[in-house]
Amino acid sequence: MTTGLIPGDQPPDPRPTSTRPPHQRNAPDDRTAQHVDDRPRSSVITARAAATFEPVGRSVATARSFVRDTLQGWGFADIVDDAVVLTSELVTNAVVHAGTHADVLCLRTGDGVRIEVSDRYPEREIPLQAAAISMGSPDREGGRGLQLCAALAGRWGVEYTPTHKNVWFQLDLPERPVGTRTAGPALPAELLPLADGRIRVAVVQIDRAGTISAWNEDAEDLFGYAADQVTGKPLTDLAAWPHTAGTGTGIAEALRLSRWEGSYGIRDTSGRVVPVYASHLRVRDAAGEPSTVCLLVRDHERAVLQTPQRTPASDTGGNSDGPSTDPFETFIGSPAPDDLDGLLQRTVERARDMLDGDSAFLLLATDDETELEVRASTGLPSARQRFARVPVEAGPGRYGSARMPAVHEDLTAVPGAVPLLNGTGMRSVVTVPLKVEGRLTGSLGVAAEAPGRYSNEEALRLQFAADRIALAVESARLGELERLRRGSLSFLVEASDLLAGTLDRDQTLALMAQMTVPTLATWCAVYTIADQATEPYLSYVLHEDEELIDGIKSLLSKVPPPDPVPTPGARVWSAPGEVAHREALRSSMRSLGLSGGPTRQVASAMGPTLAVASALGGETVVLPLVARNRVIGMLTLGKPTDEHFRQEILELAEDLSRRAALALDNARLYSERTAISQSLQRSLLPPELPQVDGVEVDVIYRAAGEGNEVGGDFYDLFPISDGAYGFAIGDVCGTGPNAAAVTGLARHALRLLAREGLSGPEVLQRLNSAILDEGARSRFLTLLYGEMRPQEDGSAELKVVCAGHPLPLRLRQDGTVEPAAEPQPLLGVMEDLELYEQTVTLDPGDVLLCVTDGVTERREGTRMLGDDGLADVLTTCTGLTAGAVAARIMRAVERFASDAPSDDMAILAMRVPEVHID
C-alpha cells in the first residue's frame, strides 16, 4: 500500500513516528496492508455509515446529501459545511474524472469525524518526491480536491491499493468543556440567595408552530391556567416581551434558538404580569420534530436556573472581590459568549449599564469602510434597526465621522446627526469607534432620553472599553464570515446542481424563487424580459407564507416594474414599500370609516391587506439577471416591515443571480428551439383526413425521440379526382429532423404527382428521381402507395405499389389474414426502377392494415413482434371499426415490450363497412 499525506519541508524520515508521516511509498509487498495500521487514530470509532455511488453526474449531489444527513444525525452540525464541500470535490473526481463508482465511508469518533472517498482507478497517483508538492493553481481542474483538503481538514491523506484509490480527511470538532461545567464554594446560609419555601419550576413545551403542547402543575400554580386552557395556544398570547430593557431578541426568535436564557413576563389569569426568569432548550424527538422546552421560575428566584458567571482563575486563591486582571473580562464578563451576536449583545448591554444610559447600539463596518451595519442594540426597536446601514461619513467635521469619538448633548439641536436614533426619543448620545491596527471595524454608542447626560469623560471611558473589545469583536466577525462563506459555497453548489437539472423555463423560475425564500429573503419576485422592446413582466412570486402570495402579486401589479439596469450588484427599490404603506393606510382609514364608504364589508379584508402590506414594508432590493450581455430579467428580494439585508446575504444573492440568469436564458433558448422545431414538424403532418364515402379510415402515429412530433415515418390520405383517393405510408431511413426533411419532400411530391394523373408506378419512379437529386442529403425510403376507389356494390378497389415497405395485411370477415401486395425495390437507391401496381378488392367487412417497420420490429430482449405476431393480433380484430383495429394494434405493440419505443410508428387502417339491408 502507498500512502500519501501532506508533505512537510523536510525529507522523509524512514523511522516510524507517531506524527503525521511525509509523502512516501512502501515496498510492493506492503500494498495489501490495511490502511488503518499506518495511521494513528486519536479515539475509538463509535459509528460508521457507508454508501456507494454510480459514475453519473447526479451522484455528486446524492453523496453530498448522504454526508450532510449522516453528520447532522450524529450531531456534528459544526463541521457539516466543510465535510460537504470536501466530499463534493472528491466524489466529483471519482465519478466524473475517474469514471468509476465512488465508495463513501463516514466514521464517527469521540472528537470528530473521518470521511473516506474511494474510487476504482488506482493508477491516478499524486507525484512522489521528497520536497513539498506544489498543487498548482486553484483554477486548475485537477488537484483541487487535495487543495481543499489541505485548507479545511485537520488531517488528510491519499492511499493506493491494487484496486482502489482512497482519499481521506478528518475534521475535528470544536473543543467543548467536559466534566464539571461550573461550581461554587460552600457559603454560609445568610449568603445564599432568597427563595420561597417551595420553589416552583414551570415546564412548558412549545411545538414547531410556537404553540404550547405541554404545561406542568407548577405552571398551573404560578400562572393560574389549567393545562387544557393553554394547550394549543401560542406562547406569545401569554408572554409580556421583553420584561427587562435591553432584550434584543423577540420571543419568536428566542424559541428558535438552540439555547436561550433571560427574563420576561407571563400574564396570569388576572391579567397581572408575573416576572419570570427562563431557560430555553431546543430539542427534537425521535421522528425529528423540533420543539422548545422552557423552564421558568419567578424572577427573584433566577439563581435556580441562571448560569453563574465563571470566576477568573487568578481570583481563586485570593480575594473574590478583587478586580479581574483581564480588561476584556472586566467589561464583558465571564464566560464570554462564543458567538458574534451574543458577544455584540453583551457588549451593548454592558456599555449601556456602564454609562447608565437608556439605550446602546453597536455597528460593524463593511469591508470598504464606507458604511456601518447595525448588528446589536438595546433599548431600541432592534427588529427595525437590525442590519440597517448608515454611512461612515455622515457629515462634515469630526462629529460627522464614525472614525472619531463624538458627544452630542442634545440631538434636537442637530437633527439627523445620528440617523439610527431618529424618532426614538433619545436626546444625548456618545459614540466611539472600534479600531484594529488603525482600521475602522465598527462603532459603539450609548444614548439617553435626557439631554446633556454625557461629556468627554464618558467618551474616554467608553473608548477605553471599545479598545478592549475591538480585537475580540473583529475576530468573532471574521469567524462568522468564514462560516458564512463555507455555507455559501455549499449553498451555491446545491443551487447550481438544481438549476442545471432542468431546461424548463417555468421550473427554472420556480427554483430561483424557492432557493431564495426563506434562505436569503422573506419574499421573492422574478421579472422577465422577452426582448429589448418589451417591458419587464412579473413572472413568479413566492413568500414564505403561501397565503400572502396572491396579495403580494396584486400589490406588485400596481407598481411599475424596476428599470432593467445591467449594472451588477443589488440596488434598493423603494416603490413596493411605498405602495405597501399607502395600501395599509387606506385599509386602516376604510376600517375607521374615514373614507366615506361602508366599513363592515372591508373590515374582514383588513387583516390580509395589512399583512400583505407588512410583508412588503421592509427593504427591497433588485438584482439584474444578465446573460450573454443582455438583461433578461430582474430578481427582486424583500424583507418584511423595517427589516434589512445583510451585506453578505446580498453578495450571496448576487452570485446566485448570475447562475440563475444563465440557467433561465438556457431554458429560454431551449424552449424557443423546441417551439420552432415542433412548429416545423407539425407543418409536415397532413391536414385532417378527408371523409371517404363507403370506407372507414383511421391513423395512429407515434414519433420516437423527446420533443419530436414528426420523424422518419409518415402517412397521407388525399383526394385525387372525383371518387378516387390516394393513400401512402412510408418510412425514411433514420429518425428526427433529418429524416423529417425527406418526409416533407415525399409527402408533398406524392400529392403533386398523383394529381397530375400519373399511375402509381410513375408517381414512385419520379419520387425516386427527386430523392436521388438530393445528393448527400438523400435517404432511402420504403413506401406503400395506392389509389382507392369505392364501388357502387359497397366494395372498394385498391391499386397498390409496395416499394420495399412491410406488406399490407388484409383481414377478411372470416378472420383470415393474408398479404395484399408483393414486395418491390425501395426508393432512393437505384436510378432505374421497374415498378408495377397490384389490384386489391376489399369486400364489405374487410380491413386493410398498413404499418411501418417500427411496429413489426418492436423488441423485448431477443423477441420481436414480427409479421407473424402482427398477423396474430389482426386476426382478433374481426368486426371492429377501423379506429378500433388501429387502437388494438397499438396497444399490442406497446404491451409487447416494457421500454419506450425507439423507432417511429405509423398505423393506417381502412375498412369497408358491411352493408345492412332493412
Q: Indicate the pLDDT class of residue 80, thresholds 50, 70 and 90.
A: confident
Provide mean pLDDT across the span 412-421.
Answer: 81
pLDDT at 604: 41
Position with higher pLDDT, 245 vs 155: 155
Q: What is the DSSP letter of 133?
A: P
pLDDT above 80 for 676: no
pLDDT at 13: 39
Q: Which residue has the cell 386493410?
A: 848
Secondary structure of the chain: what % helix, strand, coil (to 5)? 35, 25, 40
pLDDT at 34: 36
What CA–CA distance (Å, rounded) separates 116 from 122? 15
pLDDT above 60 for 4: no
pLDDT at 39: 43
Integer CA distances (angstroms), 129 to 132, 150, 812, in order: 8, 17, 85
pLDDT at 825: 92
Grid cell listed for 826: 425501395
What CA–CA distance (Å, rounded) separates 159 from 812? 74
Query: How far out from the chain centre does Cα 567 lie?
Result: 25
pLDDT at 183: 53
pLDDT at 249: 56
pLDDT digits (tens, 9 = 90+) for 847-859: 999 999 889 988 8
3-state secondary structure of 17: coil
> Which of 124-138, 145-159, 445-459 is predicted least confidently?
124-138
pLDDT at 329: 62
Position with higher pLDDT, 274 vs 68: 274
What CA–CA distance (Å, rounded) separates 834 from 367? 85
pLDDT above 90 for 916: no
pLDDT at 311: 39
Integer CA distances (angstroms), 334 to 134, 191, 248, in order: 45, 22, 20
pLDDT above 70 for 735: no
Q: Indicate the pLDDT class of residue 798, thresholds 50, 70 and 90.
A: very high
pLDDT at 705: 65
Grid cell listed for 444: 459603539
Integer CA distances (angstroms), 615 to 256, 420, 525, 661, 724, in order: 21, 22, 13, 26, 71
Question: Closest by alpha carbon to 377, among 351, 403, 355?
Answer: 351
Q: Indicate the pLDDT class of residue 25, thresholds 50, 70 and 90.
A: very low
Position with higher pLDDT, 195 vs 886: 886
Tell me the range of 304-313, 580-589, 761-770 where mean pLDDT is highest.
761-770
Position with higher pLDDT, 716 vs 688: 716
**Helices H, strands E: what count in the chain?**
20, 35
pLDDT above 70 for 837: yes
> Which of 133-137, 282-286, 724-728 is predicted least confidently?
133-137
pLDDT at 292: 92
pLDDT at 21: 38
Residues 6+ apart with CB under 8 A from 853: 731, 782, 806, 903
Name residue 497's amino acid.
Answer: D
pLDDT at 226: 94
Q: Give the gyration radius of the chain's Cα atoms.
A: 40
Provide mean pLDDT across the span 755-775.
Answer: 88
pLDDT at 709: 58
pLDDT above 60 for 352: yes
Q: What is the DSSP letter of 234?
A: B
pLDDT at 121: 74
pLDDT above 80 for 364: yes
Provide mean pLDDT across the span 42-47.
Answer: 72
Task: 859-862: list long-range contacts, CB under 8 Å, 24+ apart.
Answer: 859/897, 860/896, 860/897, 860/898, 860/899
Q: Which residues in 778-835 belong to E strands, given as ranges?
A: 781-790, 796-803, 809-811, 817-819
Q: With contact defined as beta carbons under 8 Å apart, do 617 and 581 qualify?
A: yes
> Which of 72-81, 648-657, 666-675 is predicted least confidently?
72-81
pLDDT above 80 for 862: yes
Sheet of 359-365: strands edge to edge? 389-391, 371-378, 359-365, 439-448, 428-436, 406-408
pLDDT above 50 for 152: yes
Average pLDDT, the chain: 79
Give the relative orientation of helices 736-754 and 760-772 as an angle to the nearest 10 degrees: 140
Position with higher pLDDT, 309 vs 165: 165
Name residue 602's amino acid.
Answer: V
Q: Indicate the pLDDT class of residue 342, thresholds 50, 70 and 90.
A: confident
Beta bridge partners of 406: 431
Number of C-beta neighbours around residue 752 at 10 A = 13
Give the relative orientation of helices 505-516 and 456-500 as an angle to the nearest 10 degrees: 150
Q: Indicate the pLDDT class of residue 840, thresholds 50, 70 and 90.
A: very high
Q: With contact defined as beta carbons under 8 Å apart, do 610 and 588 qualify?
A: yes
Q: Indicate the pLDDT class of residue 89, thresholds 50, 70 and 90.
A: confident
Q: Which helix (H) or strand (E) holds 864?
A: strand 863-864
Q: Indicate the pLDDT class of residue 669, thresholds 50, 70 and 90.
A: confident
Position with higher pLDDT, 208 vs 248: 208
pLDDT at 642: 67
Grid cell listed for 868: 407473424
pLDDT above 90 for 761: yes
pLDDT at 248: 46
What CA–CA distance (Å, rounded) separates 898 from 901? 9
Whether the bond between 518 and the residue before it is cis, its omega within 30 degrees of 0, is yes
Integer CA distances (angstroms), 661 to 169, 500, 531, 629, 654, in order: 35, 12, 15, 11, 10
pLDDT digits (tens, 9 = 90+) for 231-279: 999 998 888 876 443 334 578 877 887 777 888 889 899 888 898 989 8
What CA–CA distance (Å, rounded) separates 355 from 459? 9
> Which of 175-184, 628-637, 666-675 is predicted least confidently?
175-184
Output the 3-class SS for 534-599: CCCEEEEEEECCHHHHHHHHHHHHCCCCCCCCCCCCCEECCHHHHHHHHHHHHHHHHHCCCCCCCC
pLDDT at 143: 55
pLDDT at 597: 47
pLDDT at 696: 93
Q: With contact defined as beta carbons under 8 Å apart, do 390 and 419 qualify?
A: yes
Residues 6+ apart with CB under 8 A from 19: none
Provide mean pLDDT across the span 107-117.
Answer: 86
Q: Which residue has the cell 460508521?
A: 48
Residues 6+ apart with CB under 8 A from 779: 712, 732, 733, 734, 738, 739, 742, 771, 828
Name residue 120's amino acid.
Answer: R
> Which of 130-144, 470-484, 659-673 is predicted least confidently?
130-144
Integer CA distances (angstroms), 881 to 461, 697, 870, in order: 100, 9, 17
What CA–CA distance (Å, rounded) separates 901 from 708? 13
3-state secondary structure of 366: coil
Position with higher pLDDT, 179 vs 586: 586
pLDDT at 531: 79
pLDDT at 310: 40
Q: With contact defined as beta carbons under 8 Å apart, do 759 and 730 qualify?
A: no
What CA–CA distance (Å, rounded) separates 208 from 289? 8
pLDDT at 204: 94
The percentage of the chain sitting over the pLDDT mark of 70, rounded to a whole number, equals: 81
pLDDT above 70 for 600: no
Angle among Cα 813, 814, 817 to the nearest 5 degrees reads 85
Q: Indicate the pLDDT class of residue 334, thresholds 50, 70 and 90.
A: low
pLDDT above 60 for 738: yes
Provide mean pLDDT across the span 95-121.
Answer: 84
Provide mean pLDDT across the span 889-912.
Answer: 88
Task: 36-41: list long-range contacts, CB under 8 Å, 24+ apart.
Answer: 38/1, 38/3, 39/3, 39/157, 41/109, 41/114
Q: With contact defined as beta carbons under 8 Å apart, do 727 and 789 qualify?
A: no
408: left (phi over 0), alpha (psi -120 to 50) or beta: beta
Number of C-beta neighbours around residue 191 at 10 A = 7
pLDDT at 373: 85
pLDDT at 178: 47
Provide mean pLDDT across the span 138-142.
Answer: 45
